[in-house]
A and B are shown apart, each in its own frame.
Chain A
Amino acid sequence: MKLKLIYSRENLGKPVLSEVISKTNLPINILEAKITLNTGEMLIDVPAIGEKLKEVSSLFQKAGLIVKEITRTIEIDREKCVTCGACISPCPVRAIIQDLNWDIVFYEEKCVGCGICVDACPVRAIRML
């Protein structure tokens, strides 16, 4: 599951993520991080579901972070799509591929929501959610 963590000014310098990793022993992956002087946002991938995922979320919340579950990143409008493939190779995490029939297959769980495919699509069939 992908989680978006929002840091406030108070908890900006604290090693919250390291603490959660050492407590839960989960190999949490940072997908994207934006830190400014006042606030910070981090997109992480937590390889857990159910109770374990709830535990991770509550640890972040206890540390003062706002936690949002990211279930959807982009949407492909199949009516507009011309199956050209222009979005495929620019994707840095191979979340969009073409199958043997050249149909576009999207792996939501791999997507990090970078949006590069949105610009790459010549017919504007992809939008960020």
Chain B
Amino acid sequence: MSEERGTEKLRTYDEINQKIKRGDAVVLTADEFIKTVEESGLEKAAKEVDVVTTGTFGAMCSSGAFINFGHADPPIKMFKCWLNDVPAYKGLAAVDCYIGATALSETEGFEYGGGHVIEDLVSGKEIKLRAEAYGTDCYPRRSIETTLTINDLNQAVLLNPRNAYERYNAATNGTDKILYTYMGTLLPHYGNITYSGAGQLSPLYKDKDFETIGIGTRIFLGGGVGYIVGEGTQHNPQNQLGTIMVRGDLKQMNSHYLRGATYYKYGTTLYVGLGIPIPIINERVAASAALKDDEILTNILDYGVPSRNRPTVKKTSYTELKSGKVEINQREVQSSSLSSNKVAKEIAVTLKNWIIEGIFLLNRPAELISNYREFKPLEVKRKEPRVRDIMTREIIIGKPNDDIKDVARILIAKSVDHLPIVDNEGKLMGIITSWDLAKAVAQDKRQLHEIMTLKVITAKEDEAIDTVVRRMEQHNISGVPVIDQSNYIIGILTTDDISRKLVRRATA
């Protein structure tokens, strides 16, 4: 880019605001702007249109609110506090706290969390406050229990460290188990696809080089007016995964655009409604604002792989995702959104109307958000035990034609519960547990091959213990054979190994 980012070549912020005040600014939603560009071309559309509005309404876990309760008499320096039994962060001054969207209720668990507290506050409901303190000379009180509403608070400020992902990876599941993830319910064998993000209405994609979006940009936030504080955490704009940090006054917001939510077996979050006005200050911004769903690409990842690097199953576009069906391995798979496309449109229209009515003006940001930021993983420096470090290498194995009674005797003598069955080369064929043997005796079966489980859940020796523990939990089993690349058995890992050897390592 030869020209400086943010050049106001087509129009300045002042010119736009004067037009807004006169009532003759041309404001379109991103959907409408795309149509205009298709009809009259980019150059003409960029000359005619002053502002393009955007919107998104999705689950944004990095959200929360700063609250100031005011002082009781006698006063308290709260050390721990709970709102409707949801713990709030208290490493702040006496009566300030931060309630985060994903904090869980200590009485209701996944069903109620910080996101729900924020929704209930905004809708004016009564909230139960409980706090504990150690008592000081200046703050003698040691506990407090009362109720409050948002009107009783001095400040209730939504301050979200990461919102409005430019786009997001879509999710599917290649395993044979149903998965409950932060991307929703994922059916086995690539049974469905879920996605998030508003595509061609997505606020940050509509100015993907951050030429107009920056610190201080006035935005639509939770039904009220908010501001961009800076780049969001995990901001990764060079890969079109930019994010922003935002703040706004909860007292001006509307619970239609701030909803507490629960992802089944995952946790709580907050659905946040957010819209950004994009001033068409130059043609590059116009080109970005005109990007269509079919030009906004994302990857469908296999969430069945519980790793930082989930494999990409397919590259797709928001057009395909929004169509409701995506082809994977020559099969049509249903896709659906987790963020609301309907409310996203509603936000873009509302923001447009605010500007047309002259009640919302645009502003030049104090500083533009960076369009490049290094993206780092967390490296674990301490050596963590892998499967190979705690698995049992002296394995007792069976052959398919072994007699069940002989095997039962061996299992009792060696006191083991799992017997991998291997072929003559030592490759894994199946598995028998002591429970299978009990059933075999009851049903008068004779040889192992009659009763062995053929579909064996296994582990690899370089896998992390936590990954394998989760797999055992999912399949409700207590041991897995450890195999190499060629399916040769090299060990066995049982819950017994994990509890005894890991504890010994920890205490050593």
Given the complex of chains A and B, what is the CA–CA distance between A46 and B487 in angstroms? Answer: 48
Q: Which of A83, A92, A120, A122 contacts B342, CB < 8 Å? A: A83
Q: How many residues of A contact B (CB 8 A)?
A: 23
When C-beta atoms are compared, the residue in chain B nearest to A80 turns out to be: B259
Given the complex of chains A and B, what is the CA–CA distance between A17 and B415 in angstroms? Answer: 48
Q: Which of A94, A119, A123 contacts B334, CB < 8 Å? A: A94
When C-beta atoms are compared, the residue in chain A nearest to B335 turns out to be: A89
When C-beta atoms are compared, the residue in chain A nearest to B186 turns out to be: A90
Is A116 at the interface (CB under 8 A from chain B)?
A: yes
A84 touching B185 in the complex, CB below 8 Å, given contacts A119-B180, A122-B263: no
Is A101 at the interface (CB under 8 A from chain B)?
A: yes
Q: Which of A90, A102, A116, A119 contacts B341, CB < 8 Å? A: A102
Do the beta carbons of A85 and B341 come within 8 Å of each other? yes
Is B324 at the interface (CB under 8 A from chain A)?
A: yes
The residue among B336, B340, B343 with the most chain A CB atoms within 10 A of its own CB is: B336
Q: Which of B187, B324, B340 contacts A84, CB < 8 Å? A: B340
Is B102 at the interface (CB under 8 A from chain A)?
A: no
Given the complex of chains A and B, what is the CA–CA distance between A86 and B192 in angstroms? Answer: 11
Do the beta carbons of A89 and B264 come within 8 Å of each other? no
Q: Which of A82, A88, A103, A124 contacts B57, CB < 8 Å? A: A82
| Beta-carbon contacts under 8 Å, A83-114 to B | 83-92, 94, 97-98, 101-103
Do the beta carbons of B187 and A90 come within 8 Å of each other? yes
Number of A-B contacts (CB under 8 A): 86
Residue interface bits B253-286, CB-to-A below 8 A is 1, else 0: 0000001111111000101000000000000000
Given the complex of chains A and B, what is the CA–CA distance between A105 and B474 in angstroms? Answer: 33
Is B155 at the interface (CB under 8 A from chain A)?
A: no
Is B78 at the interface (CB under 8 A from chain A)?
A: no
CB-defined contacts of B342 to chain A, threshold 8 Å: 83, 101-103
When C-beta atoms are compared, the residue in chain A nearest to B266 turns out to be: A122
Do the beta carbons of B334 and A84 come within 8 Å of each other? no
Do the beta carbons of A123 and B187 come within 8 Å of each other? no
Given the complex of chains A and B, what is the CA–CA distance between A83 and B185 in angstroms? Answer: 16
A82 touching B271 in the complex, CB below 8 Å, given contacts A89-B336, A122-B59, A122-B262: yes
Given the complex of chains A and B, what is the CA–CA distance between A57 and B130 in angstroms? Answer: 58
Chain B interface residue bracket vs A: 20 to 34
Given the complex of chains A and B, what is the CA–CA distance between A116 and B340 in angstroms? Answer: 19
Chain B interface mostly helix, strand, loop or mixed?
Answer: strand
Do the beta carbons of A123 and B261 come within 8 Å of each other? yes
When C-beta atoms are compared, the residue in chain B nearest to A88 turns out to be: B336
Given the complex of chains A and B, what is the CA–CA distance between A85 and B469 in angstroms? Answer: 32
Given the complex of chains A and B, what is the CA–CA distance between A116 and B185 in angstroms? Answer: 8
Do the beta carbons of B341 and A123 come within 8 Å of each other? no
| Beta-carbon contacts under 8 Å, A49-101 to B | 82-92, 94, 97-98, 101
CB-defined contacts of B335 to chain A, threshold 8 Å: 89
Given the complex of chains A and B, what is the CA–CA distance between A86 and B261 in angstroms? Answer: 12
Given the complex of chains A and B, what is the CA–CA distance between A85 and B185 in angstroms? Answer: 11
Do the beta carbons of B343 and A86 come within 8 Å of each other? no
CB-defined contacts of A116 to chain B, threshold 8 Å: 185
When C-beta atoms are compared, the residue in chain B nearest to A118 turns out to be: B264
The residue among B57, B193, B264, B343 with the most chain A CB atoms within 10 A of its own CB is: B264
A92 touching B187 in the complex, CB below 8 Å, given contacts A86-B336, A98-B336: yes
CB-defined contacts of A102 to chain B, threshold 8 Å: 340-342, 345
Do the beta carbons of B271 and A86 come within 8 Å of each other? no
A84 touching B271 in the complex, CB below 8 Å, given contacts A97-B324, A102-B340: yes
CB-defined contacts of A91 to chain B, threshold 8 Å: 334
CB-defined contacts of B193 to chain A, threshold 8 Å: 89
List 16 extra interface pairs beyond A83-B342, A84-B339, CB under 8 A.
Answer: A83-B340, A84-B57, A84-B58, A84-B271, A86-B194, A86-B337, A89-B187, A92-B187, A98-B324, A102-B341, A119-B180, A119-B264, A119-B265, A120-B185, A122-B59, A123-B262
Interface residues of B (CB under 8 A from A): 57-59, 111, 180, 184-187, 191-194, 259-265, 269, 271, 324, 334-343, 345
29 of the cross-chain contacts (CB-CB < 8 Å) are: A82-B57, A82-B271, A82-B343, A83-B341, A83-B342, A84-B57, A84-B58, A84-B338, A85-B338, A85-B339, A86-B338, A88-B324, A89-B187, A89-B192, A89-B193, A89-B194, A89-B335, A90-B184, A90-B187, A97-B324, A98-B324, A119-B185, A122-B269, A122-B271, A122-B338, A123-B259, A123-B261, A123-B271, A124-B111
Interface residues of A (CB under 8 A from B): 82-92, 94, 97-98, 101-103, 116, 119-120, 122-124
Query: 6 shortest A-B CB distances, which residue pairs?
Result: A88-B336, A89-B192, A122-B261, A89-B336, A102-B342, A85-B337
